[in-house]
């Protein structure tokens, strides 16, 4: 049962704005360390661009390895934002309230990070600028819109733009709040950003109606983005294990699984670091875990279908690939770890309420899920390519180099760094939604029982 807490607005302001009005002690050291890691990553990227892709482990036939796996992983993480924000807003689920902004933020920053990978992956990244304007049309060619590699940036940019604008619109009331709580240059900054927000019924109605409208528009975009990313692989009939019609919904549901798990990780950290025990409560983790059970089981069904229909055609190369993936070293070890971490360990644990309401356990199981989901993408992308050795003169298996691992670690540091920078200037938990929950909830007596209730507006 959802617990109802009476929290007055002054207390809510003070607690949820503590990141902006004060600086927690841990903030500066953490951001500094992350900044150093980010800087190292940038230097390594620059070195790679200077020296060429030969510094990575990529070679025929495995042209897509760690970078593309991580690209798909971050696009997957980005799906949490819209899942939680849009779908739960449209279904009027009360428990979404503390989570929405952090999830939308994770979407924006993980998309920004995901976009970096195809850019640095190109042999001559500086030429990518010519995609935009002006393209090198003197040679009589133009980007081929039939290619999913063109569709990808269009979809991801659409999703990124939409998510950023959605985030900003939903921030407006809190920017007004910050304007009211600050002085000096901060006050000037928030005054400009809040666009003159006052909080009259017209503005609140636009927040509500606009929020629903934007949610309804972002949902189809959210489904399309990871589907288009999946079609990078699915349309290729030449690579075993890729040419399957189920890739689009399979990737989307996998993205929701990994994205919502990432939100759980983030929420646990937010509660511990900013001491938001009154706002991020065990019942939120309980609700998220129940959602995750459904999503994870759906994902498992899709995995089963993908495997079944891979073997359905009784195509010898396809069967050989699956045997390699599941029974040959080192793929078999990766496969076992993937299955254990993505489903077999976390989901049975989440069936118990004691686990669902234990925030530490939820934190660790959500991390396990993301390890598993990263491995899932790796196992989809690399083995199929690795088996194409009869056509090329190579005898070495793909082994990611130190450069690739550094850039992989950089991506996590970069997302966390951006999130912490954001938290210095803008609240991670939407204050007006918290206050709205105080207005829109009540307790009702049914007999002797006090039941929490929700106020629904009349038509």
Partner 1 sequence: MSKSILGLFQQPETAADAMDGLKEAGFELGTFDVLTGTPYPEGAFGEYVPQHRLFRFPAFGAIIGFTLSVFLTSVTQLAYPMVTGGKPILSIFAMLIIMYEMTMLAGVIATVIGIIFESRLPNMQPGIYDTRITEGWIGVVITFDDESKVADAESVLNKAGALEIKHA
Partner 2 sequence: MASQAVAYESEHHAPPPNVDADLVARELIATTTGASGRFKAWTWGLGILSIAGIVALILKFIDQSDDSTKWGYVAAMVSFLLSVAGGAPMVAMAPVMAKANWVRPITRIASLFSFAGVATLIMLIPLVAILPPLVTEGARRRTVWYMAPDYSPHFWTTLSLVLLLITGIALFYSAAIPDFASMRDHSNGWRQRLGKRLARGWVGTDAQWRTLRMRIGMFGTFYFLILVFVNFLFSTDFGQSMVPGWRDAIFPMYHTVSGFQAGVAGVVIALYFSRKYMKLEKYIHLDAFWSLGRLLFALTLLWIYFFYSSFIVFWYGRSENDIATLDLLIKGPMIYAFFAGMILLWFVPWWILIWNKVRRGTTMMVVGSFIILLGLLIDRIRTFVPAWSVPGDQIHEKWLKVIPETVWPDIFDILIMAGGISLVAFIVMMMTRVIPVLSVWQVQEFNLLAKPIKYIKGHATLVAKPD
Which residues bind to partner 2, rule: CB under 8 A? Answer: 1-2, 90-91, 94, 220, 223, 227, 231, 234-235, 237, 243-249, 301-302, 305-306, 308-314, 442-444, 446, 449, 451-459
The one of partner 2, partner 1, none whose footprint includes residue 50, by CB under 5 to 8 A per kind, is: none
Contact code string over 226-255 relative to partner 1, x by CB under 8 A: --x---------------------------
What does the alpha-carbon distance between residue 317 and residue 387 come to, in Å, rounded to a whole number? 9
CA-based radius of gyration for the chain: 24
Taking the complex as a whole, how short is the minimal distance between the CB of residue 13 and partner 1, in angstroms? 6
Classified as helix, coil or strand, 441 is strand
Euclidean distance between CA atoms 277 and 270, whole angstroms: 9
Please list the residues that pair with 59 across neighbouring strands. 62
Determine if 50 is a binding residue for partner 1 (CB under 8 A): no
Q: Scanning residues 1 to 40, which ones bind partner 1 (CB under 8 A)?
A: 8-10, 13
- Residue 255 makes CB contacts below 8 A (sequence gap 6+) with 75, 76, 77, 78, 79, 226
Closest among 300, 296, 379, 271 to 332, alpha carbons compared: 379
Q: Is 436 in the site for partner 1 (CB under 8 A)?
A: yes
Q: Which does 91 bind (CB under 5 to 8 A by kind): partner 2, partner 1, none?
A: partner 2
- Give CA angle at 113 (111, 116), nearest 5°: 110
Residue number, 283 or 436, with CB nearest to partner 1: 436
- CA neighbor of 378 nearest in space, from 41, 60, 64: 64
**Binding to partner 1 (CB under 8 A): which residues in 159-188?**
161-162, 165-166, 168-169, 172-173, 176-177, 180-181
Q: What are the Cα distances from residue 303, in Å, to 31, 296, 409?
A: 39, 10, 28
Decide if residue 200 touches partner 1 (CB under 8 A). yes
The span from the CA of 102 to the CA of 99, in Å, is 6
Q: How many residues bind partner 1 (CB under 8 A)?
A: 66
Q: Which stretch binds partner 1 (CB under 8 A): 20-28, 192-200, 375-383, 393-401?
A: 192-200
Of 197 and 338, the one with the shorter C-beta distance to partner 1 is 197
As a whole number of angstroms, the distance between CA 114 and CA 437 comes to: 34
Of residues 146, 185, 354, 445, which one binds partner 1 by CB under 8 A? 146
Element (H, E) at 373: helix 359-386
Per partner kind, with CB cut-offs from 5 to 8 A, the member of partner 1, partner 2, none near residue 201 is partner 1
Comparison of 8 and 323: residue with beta carbon closer to partner 1: 8
Report d(CA 401, CA 74) in Å as an integer: 20
Instruction: With residue 296 as reference, give the H or E element that holds it.
Output: helix 282-312
- Under 8 Å between Cβ of 21 and 431: no
Binding site residues, partner 1, CB under 8 A: 8-10, 13, 137, 140-147, 150-151, 154-155, 157-158, 161-162, 165-166, 168-169, 172-173, 176-177, 180-181, 191-192, 195-210, 213-214, 217-218, 220-221, 224, 228, 432, 435-436, 438-440, 455, 457-458
């Amino acid at each position: 049962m959802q617990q109802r807490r009476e929290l007055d607005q002054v207390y809510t302001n003070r607690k949820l704005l503590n990141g902006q009005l004060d600086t927690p002690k841990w903030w500066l050291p953490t951001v500094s360390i992350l900044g150093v890691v980010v800087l190292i990553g940038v230097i390594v990227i620059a070195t790679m661009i200077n020296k060429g892709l030969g510094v990575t482990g990529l070679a025929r036939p495995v042209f897509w390895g760690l970078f593309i796996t991580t690209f798909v992983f971050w696009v997957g993480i980005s799906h949490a934002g819209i899942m939680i924000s849009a779908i739960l807003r449209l279904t009027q689920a009360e428990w979404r309230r503390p989570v929405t902004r952090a999830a939308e933020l994770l979407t924006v920053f993980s998309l920004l990070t995901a976009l970096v990978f195809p850019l640095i992956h190109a042999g001559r990244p500086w030429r990518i600028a010519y995609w935009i304007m002006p393209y090198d049309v003197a040679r009589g060619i133009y980007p081929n819109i039939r290619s999913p590699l063109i569709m990808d940036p269009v979809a991801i940019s659409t999703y990124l733009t939409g998510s950023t604008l959605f985030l900003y619109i939903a921030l407006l009331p809190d920017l007004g709040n910050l304007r009211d709580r600050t002085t000096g240059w901060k006050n000037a900054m928030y005054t400009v950003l809040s666009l003159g927000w006052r909080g009259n019924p017209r503005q609140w109605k636009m927040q509500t109606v606009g929020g629903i409208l934007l949610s309804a528009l972002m949902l189809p975009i959210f489904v399309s983005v990871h589907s288009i990313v999946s079609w990078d692989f699915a349309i290729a009939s030449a690579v075993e294990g890729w040419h399957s019609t189920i890739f689009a919904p399979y990737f989307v549901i996998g993205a929701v699984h990994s994205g919502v798990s990432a939100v759980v990780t983030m929420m646990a950290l937010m509660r511990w670091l900013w001491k938001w025990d009154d706002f991020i409560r065990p019942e939120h983790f309980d609700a998220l875990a129940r959602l995750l059970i459904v999503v994870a089981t759906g994902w498992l069904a899709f995995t089963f279908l993908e495997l079944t229909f891979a073997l359905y055609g009784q195509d010898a190369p396809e069967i050989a690939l699956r045997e390699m993936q599941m029974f040959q070293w080192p793929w078999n070890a990766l496969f076992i770890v993937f299955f254990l971490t993505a489903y077999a360990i976390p989901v049975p644990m989440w069936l118990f309420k004691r686990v669902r309401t234990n925030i530490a356990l939820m934190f660790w199981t959500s991390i396990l899920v993301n390890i598993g989901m990263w491995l899932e993408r790796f196992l989809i992308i690399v083995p199929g390519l690795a088996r194409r050795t009869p056509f090329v003169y190579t005898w070495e298996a793909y082994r990611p180099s130190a450069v690739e691992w550094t850039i992989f670690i950089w991506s996590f540091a970069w997302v966390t760094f951006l999130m912490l920078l954001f938290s210095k200037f803008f609240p991670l938990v939407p204050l007006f939604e918290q206050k709205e929950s105080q207005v829109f909830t009540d307790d009702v007596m049914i007999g002797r029982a006090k039941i929490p209730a929700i106020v629904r507006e009349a038509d």
